């Protein structure tokens, strides 16, 4: 049995290495600084050194306002500045509530994120969603100014189509080092829409959001019966729960994705590490894919 689950660190551009599991701060809102700090310290201690946030985080999960997740993380870093050197810090911008997208605004958005986080530089700055009304050449100019000013070390895109990524890369050759798509056993689009192929072609790191399909992978009623059966069988064989198999599935693709976790439950975050010990071979992974599709591959 050849295990496809890649437990090793991933390169993020030329300057950083990150664990196969990362931490997303979508839910890191509306709590005391001590509680937020406990979660950041916990994930860093477990090798989840990519900390991914966004300026728009704070409008969901009981957050108080746009930017409040970054502000809370900033308070954590102010209280424990040594944590900054332990993490690869990523944020995203470009969503403007009511607009909804404005890539021409990215320079101001990044400046605002730096202020809220209380840092001078982001290791990775990502365009959260594509702005179809800004020419990619203009977007590239804005991003290049951010890098030239030392405020951003590297760039990525999130929720982009492959053609949108290609258009931006034409004006920023070699500078787009990551993509952040949705991918899970219940959402297979990157397998078929070219996202994974493109990321492998250009050696871009894949940062997967919602690797557990927003918790649905732990709920048999939210999955096709065939997928539930396959995941449960594999979970029993490996001595883990179904969500852990779901994480291992994400880590088994040769694009070497990083699975971004967003749980606030420290026990679940610890349990997620079991995915790195799961053994899945080609037959296992293809069984998951076909069960999710509801049909056999040709």
- For residues 243 and 272, what is the distance between their CA atoms, to the nearest angstrom? 8
Taking alpha carbons only, the member of 138, 182, 156, 9 closest to residue 90 is 156
Tokens coding 211: 């690797």
- Residue matched to tokens 């890098």: 147
- For residues 286 and 231, what is the distance between their CA atoms, to the nearest angstrom? 12
Q: Which of 57, 105, 125, 183 is catalytic?
A: 57
Q: What is the CA radius of gyration of the chain?
A: 19
Sequence-separated (6 or more) residues with CB below 8 Å from residue 142: 103, 104, 106, 107
Annotated catalytic residue 160: no
Residue 114 burial (CB < 10 Å; 0-12/13-18/19+)? buried
Report DSSP letters for 71-82, one per residue.
HHHHHHHHH-GG
Residue 267 burial (CB < 10 Å; 0-12/13-18/19+)? exposed
- For residues 283 and 288, what is the distance between their CA atoms, to the nearest angstrom? 9
Sequence-separated (6 or more) residues with CB below 8 Å from residue 175: 143, 144, 147, 154, 155, 169
Catalytic residues: 57
């Amino acid at each position: 049995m050849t295990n496809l689950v890649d437990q090793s660190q991933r390169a993020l551009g030329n300057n950083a290495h990150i664990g196969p599991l990362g931490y997303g701060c979508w839910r890191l809102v509306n709590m005391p600084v001590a509680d937020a700090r406990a979660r950041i310290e916990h994930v860093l201690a477990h090798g989840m050194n990519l900390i991914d946030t966004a300026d728009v985080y704070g409008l969901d999960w009981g957050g108080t306002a746009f930017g409040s997740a970054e502000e809370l993380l900033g308070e954590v870093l102010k209280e424990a500045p040594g944590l900054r050197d332990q993490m690869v810090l990523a944020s995203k911008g470009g969503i403007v509530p009511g607009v909804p997208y404005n890539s021409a605004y990215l320079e101001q958005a990044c400046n605002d994120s730096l202020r809220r986080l209380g840092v001078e530089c982001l290791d990775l700055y990502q365009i959260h969603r594509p702005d179809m009304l800004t020419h990619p050449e203009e977007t590239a100019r804005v991003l290049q100014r951010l890098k030239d000013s030392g405020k951003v070390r590297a760039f990525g895109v999130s929720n982009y189509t492959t053609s949108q990524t290609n258009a931006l890369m034409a004006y920023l050759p070699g500078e787009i080092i990551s993509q952040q798509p949705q991918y899970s056993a219940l959402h297979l689009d990157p397998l078929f829409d070219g996202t994974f192929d493109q990321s492998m072609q250009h050696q871009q790191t894949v940062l997967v959001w919602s690797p557990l399909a927003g918790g649905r992978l732990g709920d048999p009623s939210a999955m096709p019966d065939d997928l539930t059966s396959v995941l449960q069988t594999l979970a029993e064989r490996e001595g883990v729960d179904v969500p852990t198999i779901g994480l291992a599935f994400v880590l088994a693709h040769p694009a070497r994705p990083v699975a971004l976790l967003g749980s606030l439950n420290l026990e679940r975050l610890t349990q997620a590490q079991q995915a790195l010990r799961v053994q899945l071979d080609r037959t296992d992974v293809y069984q998951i894919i076909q069960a999710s599709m509801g049909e056999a591959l040709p």
